[in-house]
C-alpha cells in the first residue's frame, strides 16, 4: 500500500455517531478513523477537517455552501478527499459537490454508514475503506460516493447520480439503473454499461462559483389526492420542482391549474422527469407541459433539485439555459 495523504472532511451523520441510551447522535470523536486504524493500521496519513458536526437531516443549501468553501480552501498536497456524511441527505449533498467541483484534480469520495461505526452490522468501515482504496490505488479524478450494498458489494456511484436510500434496506441505488462500478480486492472495476462515462471523460471542466444560495426552490412530489390549493405561493419560491410519476404523468387538472397560478406569480414550474424529448407521451403529460410546465429529461429528483437551486442562484445565464446543459453527468444518456 502506498503511503498516501488523504484529507478527511467530517460533517457528522451516522458515520460520525455513537449510540447512548438507545439514541443515535453525533460524537465529538473521529470514531470512523479510530476503527480504520484498528483494523487496517496507520500507513495512510489522514488530515482531519470538521467544519460542522450534525445529523444530515439538518443539512440544507446553506450547509452545502459551507462545506463547499471548506473543500475549495483545501490547498494541501493530499491525494484525495473523503467526505463523511449522513445517509438521509447524502444524495443531495453529493449532487452539489459533484456539480460545484466537477473540475477537481483529485478524487473526492463521499461516504456514510447505515449504523454507527463499531456497531455490529455497520457498513461504515467498509465504505470508508473503499474510499481509501479508490484514492490510493486508482488514478481517477472526479466526485463519487462509496457504499456497500445488501449483497456485500462495495459500490461506487457517480455523485450526481446516487439517489436516496431505500427506507427498508438502507441501500442506495443509481439513477439510470447502474452504479459506476465497485471496489474488489482494493481495486476499482468500472461497470461497462452504456450509461457510464469512461474515466477520461470525468477530467476537466470549469468549477462552478460557490455563491450564497438565497433563492429557494420548492419541491413537490405527485401522489393520489394531492391538494394543490394547500400550497401557499406567498412565500414566492424562485422555482418549483414537481416530481412526476415514473411515466411522466400527474393529476392533469390539479397540476395544470397550479402551473397557471404559479405563472401568474412569476414562478417557473419544472417537471421531473421525462425519458425522451421525442416519442409518444401520455395525454396528461402533454396537457401539463402545454400549460407551461418545463420538462426535465433523464435526471434524478435529487440532482434536479440541487441543479435548480444552483440555477436560480447564478447569473451567467438564464436558469432555463442552465438546466439544459449537463454539469457533471447528472443527465443519463438516452
Residue 7: pLDDT over 70? yes
Q: What three-state secondary structure class fits 235? A: helix
Whether this model's pTM surpasses 0.85: yes
Residues 105-163: tens digit of each pLDDT: 999 999 999 999 989 999 999 999 999 999 999 999 999 999 999 999 999 999 999 99
Residue 2: pLDDT over 80? no
Q: Are residues 255 and 301 in the same domain?
A: yes
Q: Which residue has the higher pLDDT, 29 or 174?
A: 174
pLDDT given at position 77? 87
Cα torsion 195, 201, 206, 210 to 10°: value is 50
- Whether 67 is in a domain gets the answer yes
Residue 333: pLDDT over 90? no
- Whether 66 is in a domain gets the answer yes
Domain that holds residue 320: 217-324
How far is Cα 110 from Cα 86, in angstroms, rounded to an integer?
A: 10
The answer for 38, left when phi > 0, alpha when psi is -120 to 50, beta otherwise, is: alpha
- Whether 193 is in a domain gets the answer yes
Residues 62-121: tens digit of each pLDDT: 999 999 999 999 988 899 999 999 999 999 999 999 999 998 999 999 999 999 998 999
Q: Are residues 190 and 299 in the same domain?
A: no
Q: What three-state secondary structure class fits 209? A: coil
Task: Name the one residue in this structure whose C-alpha cell is 470538521.
Answer: 50
- pLDDT band at residue 1, thresholds of 50, 70 and 90? very low
Number of domains in the chain: 2
Residues 203-254: tens digit of each pLDDT: 877 778 888 999 999 999 999 999 999 998 988 999 999 999 999 999 999 9
Residues 246-302: tens digit of each pLDDT: 999 999 999 999 999 999 999 999 999 999 988 889 999 999 999 999 999 999 999
Q: Are residues 125 and 267 in the same domain?
A: no
Specify the CATH number for the domain of residue 235.
3.40.50.40
Helices (H), 73-177: 90-100, 124-137
Q: Are residues 125 and 272 in the same domain?
A: no
The residue among 170, 202, 234 that closes a domain is: 202
Q: Are residues 167 and 277 in the same domain?
A: no
Q: Are residues 49 and 105 in the same domain?
A: yes
DSSP for residue 210: -
How far is Cα 312 from Cα 319, in angstroms, rounded to an integer?
A: 6
Q: Are residues 66 and 180 in the same domain?
A: yes
Q: Are residues 134 and 248 in the same domain?
A: no
CB 248 within 8 A of CB 271: yes
Q: Are residues 94 and 239 in the same domain?
A: no
How far is Cα 270 from Cα 255, in angstroms, rounded to an integer?
A: 11
Amino acid at each position: 500500500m502506498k503511503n498516501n495523504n488523504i484529507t478527511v472532511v467530517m460533517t457528522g451523520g451516522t458515520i460520525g455517531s455513537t449510540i447512548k441510551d438507545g439514541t443515535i447522535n453525533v460524537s465529538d470523536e473521529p470514531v470512523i478513523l479510530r476503527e480504520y486504524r484498528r483494523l487496517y493500521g496507520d500507513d495512510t496519513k489522514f488530515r482531519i477537517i470538521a467544519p460542522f458536526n450534525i445529523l444530515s437531516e439538518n443539512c440544507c443549501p446553506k450547509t452545502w455552501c459551507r462545506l463547499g468553501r471548506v473543500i475549495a480552501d483545501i490547498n494541501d498536497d493530499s491525494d484525495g478527499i473523503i467526505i463523511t456524511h449522513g445517509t438521509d441527505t447524502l444524495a443531495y449533498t453529493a449532487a452539489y459537490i459533484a456539480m460545484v467541483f466537477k473540475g477537481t484534480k483529485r478524487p473526492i469520495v463521499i461516504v456514510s454508514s447505515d449504523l454507527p461505526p463499531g456497531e455490529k452490522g455497520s457498513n461504515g468501515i467498509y465504505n470508508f475503506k473503499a474510499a481509501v482504496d479508490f484514492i490510493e490505488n486508482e488514478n481517477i479524478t472526479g466526485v463519487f460516493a462509496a457504499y456497500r450494498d445488501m449483497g456485500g458489494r462495495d459500490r461506487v456511484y457517480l455523485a450526481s447520480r446516487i439517489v436516496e436510500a431505500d427506507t427498508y434496506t438502507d441501500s442506495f441505488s443509481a439513477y439510470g439503473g447502474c452504479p459506476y462500478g465497485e471496489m474488489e480486492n482494493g481495486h476499482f472495476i468500472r461497470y461497462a454499461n452504456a450509461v457510464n462515462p469512461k474515466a477520461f471523460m470525468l477530467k476537466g471542466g470549469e468549477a462552478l462559483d460557490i455563491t450564497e444560495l438565497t433563492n429557494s426552490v420548492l419541491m413537490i412530489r405527485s401522489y393520489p389526492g394531492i391538494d394543490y390549493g394547500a400550497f401557499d405561493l406567498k412565500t414566492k419560491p424562485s422555482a418549483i420542482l414537481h416530481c412526476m410519476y415514473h411515466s411522466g404523468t400527474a393529476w392533469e387538472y390539479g397540476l395544470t391549474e397550479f402551473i397557471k397560478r404559479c405563472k401568474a406569480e412569476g414562478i417557473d414550474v419544472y417537471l421531473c422527469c421525462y425519458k425522451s424529448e421525442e416519442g409518444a407521451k401520455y395525454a396528461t403529460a402533454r396537457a401539463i407541459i402545454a400549460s407551461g410546465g418545463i420538462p426535465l429529461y433523464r435526471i434524478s429528483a435529487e440532482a434536479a433539485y440541487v441543479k435548480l437551486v444552483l440555477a436560480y442562484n447564478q447569473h451567467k445565464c438564464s436558469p432555463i439555459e442552465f438546466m439544459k446543459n449537463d454539469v457533471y453527468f447528472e443527465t443519463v444518456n438516452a
